Amino acid sequence: MNSTFTTILRIILALGLLVFGLNKFIGFMPIPQLPAHAADFMQSLKATGYVLPVLGAFEVFIGLLLLIKKWVPFALLLLAPISLNILLFHLFLDLPAIANAIVISVINGILIYKYWKVYRPLFQY
């Protein structure tokens, strides 16, 4: 769990989550041009007034936990449904921009695998 490879992946994932999470609050990166269906979906999430800020807060929280190496297995479990939704959003609504989603999902999967000993008791009766 403490290999250099795992540490590098954890830090890359943490920094990515911090950047994209903070962007939901500060808006320092331009919003890319999205296909019509994806733009409609994102507009509906913005219209709720809470979904994107809550998602951004979770991303920042998870990123900080990963960066300071505090409760990493917990942070990875919190990230699993978020990374799955990012992947599915790009798979169904914005396929040309799926590369980042694949990277996030793969890194999350690798880190969950690396910490599998911690999760094993969850699957025992």
* Predicted confidence (pLDDT) per residue in 22-34, tens digit: 999 998 998 889 9
Predicted confidence (pLDDT) at residue 124 exceeds the cutoff of 90: no
Question: Could you tell me which residue, 120 or 27, shows the higher pLDDT?
Answer: 120
* Predicted confidence (pLDDT) per residue in 58-101, tens digit: 999 999 999 999 999 999 999 999 999 999 999 999 999 999 99
Nearest to 63 by CA among 27, 111, 22, 17: 17
Q: How far apart are CA 83 and CA 102, in angstroms?
A: 9
Nearest to 9 by CA among 58, 55, 59, 66: 66
Predicted TM-score (pTM) of the model is 0.91
Predicted confidence (pLDDT) at residue 15 exceeds the cutoff of 90: yes
